[in-house]
Structure 1
Amino acid sequence: MGSLSFNYIVSFIVLLLWAVVVSAGKTFNVKDYGAKTDGRTDCTSAILSAWKEACEFPGDATVYLPPGKYMSAMIMMSGPCQGDMTFRLDGAMRGTKDLSKFPRNNWVAFQFLSNFKLTGNGVFDGMGRSTWAQNKRVGKVFPTSIQFTSLNDSLVEGIRSKNAKMFHMMVYRCSKLKIDKVTIQAPANSPNTDGIHVSLSNDTQITNTNIRTGDDCISIGQTNRGLYISDVRCGPGHGISVGSLGKFEDDKDVTDLYLKNCELSRTTNGLRIKTWQKSYQMTCSNFTYENIIMKKVFNPIIIDQEYCPNGVGKCGGKSTSSQVKIVDVTFKNIKGTSESPTAINLLCSQSNPCKGLVFRNIDFKHTGSAVANSTCLNVANPKISNVQPPLCQN
């Protein structure tokens, strides 16, 4: 009887200690799995091994990359996992220049996870300079640096991304993903290096983020609902864009976009909505842009429903107009300088005029000697108050 009691007590203590370890979480250092910090040795297997064991740990787990340089090929870090996962990067990850190592056109991917966190003081260096010359070829796709697929209630904070081979970050089929205090950087002449692209996602937040790149700072694709963007600094780059939309039959509505307290500097566009001239039916609705400062932006506010990158007449001709409906879009408390004389350019669809547009407290001045002006085409009964340059005057 005494022996049984003793064994019972020992088992209880072991279980208690294990419970304490699990509840406290565990860190999986990639150096313990063979990762080298010289920036030349391929660390792909070491990082994946650390992820696998962390994912199988029955508690909170952290995959940790301490200071140093880690070169890798494509890495797919998938769930679901036994507990909540954190990927902490305090070093520098470098994407290999060997394009054959990227069979799925992304570099670092996190997918099928809930309550996931990507954090740290480190940087994802896509080493994109090796591919940008090829990147200019139309239709050729290169790896996205960081891909988020099917993440729920997750957080990305503090990390940096630089010199992506193509997009820096892709948000795809995510719900309630927060991106905060992130820095994205690439030269102004780096092609197709969008900062953050969001598509097929719900309730995405992007806040307190600095983006300097060669394409859209933030690009918003099809089938998005609930996107909150605040305190973003953009430039150089192509601005903050919705679209281009309506190219594919599966494109669905983009709704509930709220963008505030942002600054755009020396970008080719400011706030842009673009849809294909020849398009399928869908709707953009309930957008609000407010408290925006623009400095030397070429197209501060632009709605382009005649988008046809292949040239005039190659997207259906003058008889074709966009089937995308733009409804209930508000621009308020926006000011700055325009590099182009046309500071506000509204080119809406002839068959589906823009409806419910509101402009309040808008003030743009041309950076040169010209007087700023506006263009207003196919806009149905806009509400206009205190707008310079004057808008939609017959």
Structure 2
Amino acid sequence: MRVLHTSDWHVGRPFHGRDLLAEQESVLGGLADLVADERVDVVVVSGDLYDRAVPSAEAVDAGARVLRRIAAAGAKIVVTPGNHDSAPRLGAFAGFAQAGGLYLRTTIAELHEPVVIDDVYGPVAFYGIPYLEPELARHALGDLELRGHAAVLGEAMRRVKDDLASRQARSVVLAHAFVIGGETSDSERTIAVGGVPHVPGSIFAGIDYAALGHLHGPQTLADHLRYSGSPLAYSFSEIHHRKSVWLVELDAGGLAGVERRELPVPRALGKLRGELRDLLTNPAYEPEVEKFLSIELTDKVRQLDAMRRLRARFPHALHLDWQPEGGRPKALRYADTVRGRSDEEVACCFVEDTRNSPPTTTERALLREALAAVAGKEPE
């Protein structure tokens, strides 16, 4: 059996305010071609199919089109919710979807009941463990003594292994969790609420393959224990990620091999640093024009309307920060900033602190007039 391990689609997620639905559908829809080319039998999505618990209608439509394309290419699909998804909403029509080859494993009470799919060697049991928020999960599992992520996931895996022991089947577990040894990026929502978020990889011992979700970088913790990562970059911290999926092969004895399949990059990420004038005129930056860009300006004085001017050359600049050479002025507490100063001195101090240069004579006159108008008297 050939299994395509994916996760963290986050359909509907923007990138620094930029709508990514078209790019998401293009990359995810391409999985259908991979299914056909590689003769994939099952595609698994280990959580965070959508980016929000209540996704937009456009995101739902895009996700549905992608799933239909994958199913039409000949693969069955197993999905379990992540911490971004709403498990009840995602699984609302699970019974109907199953008839079309889409298996939505969204309930904690049924996590030990696998989707069983046969190949020439016999059955493979796919167990979908939804994201387990500790406080809610311990009630759903019926054990109020369970505390923290490791405890609730450990109990979930105990139930999975108990069921597996009663079967003559190979096993694949889908889980959305932060396993010790995984590397994070800036685009993952913390799951620290409910205790220490990390769980040991030993929890998955005895499973032929554990298809992990939550962390957005593809990574291997053990041969049988891997994160596929997100199909697109969702933060500039992922600039060096090679977005991919895992092609998992199971034979009669269990895990036979795993290969990486890289995904297309709709638009590359880039980072630029320098003074505004140089960024706007230096031909060396021409290769960066079509990238999503995070730009750091180093001008000693904060430049006016910098993002608009940068986008005239770099239309996909999305993030701008100002880090002047030599550092920004030392920030003071408000009480220390205003103590013993007149209103005009406070206003001028604010201007200087904001842009790293004092107000000009003309600007001081304007500030003086504004303060006088507020006070209801003629400026001095």
- TM-score, scaled to structure 2: 0.24
- TM-score, scaled to structure 1: 0.23
> Highest CA radius of gyration, 1 or 2?
2
